[in-house]
Chain A
Amino acid sequence: MKMLCFASRNTKEMVRDKLNLMFGIGFPVVLLLLLTAIQANIPVELFSLDHLTPGVCVFGLSFVSLFAGLLISKDRGSSLVLRLFTSPMTGSDFIFGYTLPLVIVSLGQIALTVLVAVLLGLRQGFANILLLVVVLLPVVLLNIGLGLLFGTVLNDRQVGGICGALLTNLTAWLSGTWFDLKLVGGVFEAIANAFPFVHAVNAGRAALSGDCSAIFPDILWVIGYSVVIMLAAIIVFSRRMKSDWNGK
């Protein structure tokens, strides 16, 4: 009950921030519309809807880190945190209370992006779309974990810079959504392959095409990153919050 109440408050705080909504939900949809219009006039395989949709979903989810990071860092920076920590909420109430609404917002963002793609002419079956959503779940957790982590150690201005600028750019440049990484090759491609973003997009494309075997090993990269980041976020969150209370 306590966790659900906290989660409900967090959902309201997120969805009532119009700037968050505009960037988090509006921007990916605008990108989808724009690139589909370009594709209609100058056909490029990379921008066909079955290639583009998973990439836009992964890019859009990078904004969830920003939502999470801002929410937590703002809470930490305000007196509300004293009220929250004086209440009988436990550590797991806090972690799940922050995570649950972010999962819901992420799923809503994926659903909206896919819906727009279908309206624009995506012709994949329901089963493939469902598989795409399942494959994107570790990406959701990865971004929530990054948001929890950055929101716990940085202030809201720093979160804006790291999650709002750096992370979204890393996701954009290193995901292979906007250009084929093989065209650049070399060190850039090697760096991109060391990060989870391109693997998330590749796994998403395989899922959407219904090629289950091609989901692996890319999805394992994403799951590995998600588990490590989420665990790190929980440990740092628990420790940092405790030291914040002590005023140390």
Chain B
Amino acid sequence: MTSGIEIKGLTKRFSQNVAVDHLNLDIKGNSLFALLGVNGAGKTTLIKMLCCLSRPDEGDAFIHGKSIRSESMQVKKIINISPQETAIAPLLTVRENLEFSVGIYGHPHSECRALADGMINEMSLKEVEKKTARTLSGGWQRRLSIAMALITSPKVLFLDEPTLGLDVIARRELWNVIQSLRSRMTIILTTHYLEEAEAIADRIGIMAEGKLKAVGTADELRQMSGKQNFENAFIAIAKGEIR
């Protein structure tokens, strides 16, 4: 098994509140892992620690063998994130946004242009290439935001609620894009749409109260909970009805 991410006893506290509680998890390389949980379950805190945005109080995690505690700069070179809200530079054009997002990883300008060309084709952004980002619709902005995360060819990609607020067609299109990426990188997806996780994830983890309550495929989680319906399985696991 190629290990994309190894999490060992990762813990984060905010005052008296334990946001992530001694969490252990292995995520296979080049797979799509969905992280589910109700609000306040600790998903965002966990993602922030894995992205080296927040320092763990205990434990460590290894992204392709690099420690998030002691090798954060090495980790940052091989990861990227598409945050929940679209993360774009509003007054730059689509092309400029793409070139900018690869330029801050240290690539020379000529390479930035070539990579932006490739991403414009891959994400079908040609028709809006010269438009200023703030003038784009929500769907296009989300697409651009994801393209900005993909352009550095990360080994691990964090997608935080990537389809939030998108219409059904735009969501399905984005699912296709995400699924096409799983052979090239490890994807960690957080979502509140249970059907999304069920449809596209290889494995699913359910978090509650800072702990990882269950991990498995959608079928395994249903079986574990004894529920036919995935939503019922999620509720049973998140509420601690399954031990």
Contacts and interface: CB of A to CB of B under 8 A. Distances in A.
Contacts, number: 89
Nearest to A83: B87
Chain A residues touching B, majority SS:
helix
Contacts of B193: none
Given A79-B83, A85-B53, A246-B54, A12 B105 contact: no
The B interface is mostly helix, strand or loop, or mixed, namely: loop
Interface in A4-29: 4-6, 8-9, 12-13, 16-17
Interface residues of B, number: 37
B104 A5 contact: yes
B136 interface: no
How many chain A residues sit at the interface, stated as a range, is: 20 to 34
Interface in B105-119: 105-108, 112
Contact of B85 (A78, A84, A85, A245): A78
Contacts of A80: 87-89
B81 A83 contact: yes
B5 interface: no
Nearest to A245: B53
Contacts of A246: 48, 53-55
Nearest to A82: B83
Interface stretch (B23-31, B95-103, B178-186): B95-103
A41 interface: no
Nearest to A246: B54
Given A9-B89, A13-B92, A246-B54, 4 more contacts: A2-B106, A12-B89, A89-B104, A245-B53
